Amino acid sequence: MFDIIGTPELAAEVTMQPVRRLGVDAAILFSDIVVPLKAVGIDVELKAGVGPVIDSPFRTAADIDRLRPLEPDDVAYVADTVRILVGQLDVPLIGFAGAPFTLASYLVEGGPSRTYARTKSLMYSDPATWKELLSTLADITSAFLRVQVDAGAAAVQVFDSWAGALSPDDYQQGVLPASSEVFDALADLDVPTIHFGVNTGELLALMADAGPDVVGVDWRVPIDVARQRLGPGVAVQGNLDPAVCLTPWDAIEAKVRDILARNARRPGHIFNLGHGVLPETDPDVLRRIVELVHTGG
């Protein structure tokens, strides 16, 4: 995967394929949230069936010194991919990056986790180190997103994939400041920003407080309830359960229509899955979902 990401022509081709096949209204850059970590010298490997694995996990304040600032030249291949895509696409391109908390969780845990026990332990036991780590990662994330926008990305999405492991109080005190740093650093770019997390129904309003234009909603919270929690002025993205795509079309159609009905044609809704496409999904089902949404359900 890193080989593909690091080869602009290949990364552009992978990005283009779902646009050609499915007829979606935007493309999302083919990349991975750990790309900027690898670019600044962290030894990270993408293991099949596992995900990102860090060779030497972070354990102390001294480990933060291993994170140097991200320079545009570190990810020049990403900028090249974006430029290729902007020249080929007739729909907007969405760039993306990992949020400080999710990147920190990989660095501290050494890879994916069920409990995030080490991450939470650092946050609780050494708030100063935790704050420095997240602020450092916020700088890396915002720098990575700026590279993509400068190359032509029309919008950017910040994935806080594992923020749902936190209580609202822990998120507000330990994560929200760094996430806000990211969105504040992008404020001068005049591109839409999206903030997404998994199992973050109790955090939606706080995620909006970080400053994005759009908040992604997974399938655990109905879209109309999410809108109530977010209040006016924030668009929503989501939120079909990816598992629904494996069921008969009648069931899929009913779920899609339900989401559209709950949104009630209010502006500021990006119809999407509530998380990623499951590997066993038939692409033709996704194409039919796109067509159904385009017709208004």
- The per-residue pLDDT string of the chain (297 residues; one tens digit each, 9 = 90 and over) reads 999 999 999 999 999 999 999 999 999 999 999 999 999 999 999 888 888 899 899 999 999 999 999 999 999 999 999 999 999 999 999 999 999 999 999 999 999 999 999 999 999 999 999 999 999 999 999 999 999 999 999 999 999 999 999 999 999 999 999 999 999 999 999 999 999 999 999 999 999 999 999 999 999 999 999 999 999 999 999 999 999 999 999 999 999 999 999 999 999 999 999 999 999 999 999 999 999 999 987
The first and second tokens of residue 13, run together, are 């081709």
Helical segments of the chain, H only: 2-5, 8-22, 35-39, 76-88, 100-109, 117-125, 127-151, 168-174, 176-186, 204-209, 223-230, 249-263, 283-294
pTM of model > 0.85: yes
Distance of alpha carbon 114 from alpha carbon 136, whole angstroms: 25
99-118: b (≥16 Cβ within 10 Å) or e = bbbbbbbbbbbbbebeebeb
Residues 52/106, Cβ–Cβ less than 8 Å: yes
Residues 255/271, Cβ–Cβ less than 8 Å: no
- Which amino acid type is present at position 6? G
Name the DSSP class of 5. H
